Structure 1
């Protein structure tokens, strides 16, 4: 349980820092723009941390399910190796899905300049700046969103 809580705490720090740090830098400098490379990095980290959090929360629910329903077998079922594998799997899943979404957006061409007039960078704002058809990217986002939002929620409710 403490391994999962420490992962969740670390994840939340990085998740808020990915948006808050550039926002504070923009407030201090007086600019409300973000470069394209800064946008890509912020978009990746924001998506990765959000995706990892969804998966990790469902795995934490499974951990508590095992602890409540099988208290005597809990140390055998959820040993340290299994907990580390679950945590690592959550991180890998979140990072890979964020990489897929970010790379699919980067392959498309932007209209005009590469300065985004926002202090935060989200994937939907970038999709509005793209000149070509974005239906393939939107389909990828839909599939990933269905896998990372309702599925963990369903696992949490079942557990």
Structure 2
């Protein structure tokens, strides 16, 4: 499997208003407590590590993009629920001109570092927030990628979110990956 740098480094501290709880507070993944993880379970690197170690899953996504570089070349791609950014990086390496990676959990702290370590910050832009609440820097995208089934199929299934994004941002001749 192609090597990508997924090193975890420290991050700068962010201030948190007293008494605020849940995934919307302004803290880095390293600053989160077990209570925070309860509300923001996808911020925990272990869940992503498990998914990344699933070689069949990871290689299937990579191969789907790498074997279809002609579809990605020069396109604008939207990655819904980008997590660590692995699918965004595959899309960038497959030739996408721009990748917009949306993630609502605090795993974005790690994703930014991983994307920077792989020198893909000029192609991949991370947008933190819920798909239904964010503004994109573009009106339409050519391709939407997502691991929409979530962790263990039904845990945080994102199908409704992907369909919302498709209806709002996918160009008329756009594509979903995967589409089956």
TM-score range, shorter chain: under 0.3
Q: Which fold has the larger relative contact order, with Cα–Cα distance below 8 Å and residues 6 or more apart in sequence?
A: 1
Higher helix share: 1
TM-score normalised by length of structure 2: 0.24
Higher strand share: 2
TM-score normalised by length of structure 1: 0.26
Which structure has the larger Rg? Answer: 1
